[in-house]
């Protein structure tokens, strides 16, 4: 079945440093979504990418969908303590089935 992997599993950065997490799917995705989960909270939707090679920005966050629609990345510029949490990528396969979340990348930001 479809598998979604994310690296790194953990990332500790100093406030102000940049951060990137990478997401890879074993199958082509029809779209990819990114969620953020704060400690003790629930996943919160950040963004959805649909087109091959698509790039979207939200303030300091940049999201990219790979040309083959099997990988994606989230880059945060100049991290802040409010960025702390676990970032998940998720998506259905190209047949619109099997909605799968990645294991997440846990980000810690040291002030």
Partner 1 sequence: GAGVSQSPRYKVTKRGQDVALRCDPISGHVSLYWYRQALGQGPEFLTYFNYEAQQDKSGLPNDRFSAERPEGSISTLTIQRTEQRDSAMYRCASSSGPYNQPQHFGDGTRLSIL
Site residues (vs partner 1, CB under 8 A):
30-31, 33, 35, 42-45, 48, 50, 88, 90, 92, 96-104, 106
Least CB distance from residue 17 to partner 1, whole Å?
A: 23
Least CB distance from residue 99 to partner 1, whole Å?
A: 5
Contacts of 62 (CB under 8 A, 6+ apart): 55, 56, 74, 75, 76, 77
DSSP assignment, residue 51? Answer: S
Nearer to partner 1, 33 or 79 (CB): 33
Contacts of 29 (CB under 8 A, 6+ apart): 69, 70, 91, 92, 93, 94
Least CB distance from residue 60 to partner 1, whole Å?
A: 20
Nearer to partner 1, 76 or 89 (CB): 89
Biggest distance spanned by C-alpha atoms of the chain:
44
């Amino acid at each position: 079945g479809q598998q979604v992997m994310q690296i790194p599993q953990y990332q500790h950065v100093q406030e102000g440093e940049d951060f990137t997490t990478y997401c890879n799917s074993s199958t082509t995705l029809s779209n990819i979504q990114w969620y953020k989960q704060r400690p003790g909270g629930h996943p919160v939707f950040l963004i959805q990418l649909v087109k091959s090679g698509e790039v979207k920005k939200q303030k300091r966050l940049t999201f990219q969908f790979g040309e083959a629609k099997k990988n994606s990345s989230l880059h945060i510029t100049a991290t802040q303590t409010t960025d702390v949490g676990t970032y998940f990528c998720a998506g259905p396969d190209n047949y619109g089935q099997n909605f799968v979340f990645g294991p997440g990348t846990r980000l810690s930001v040291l002030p």
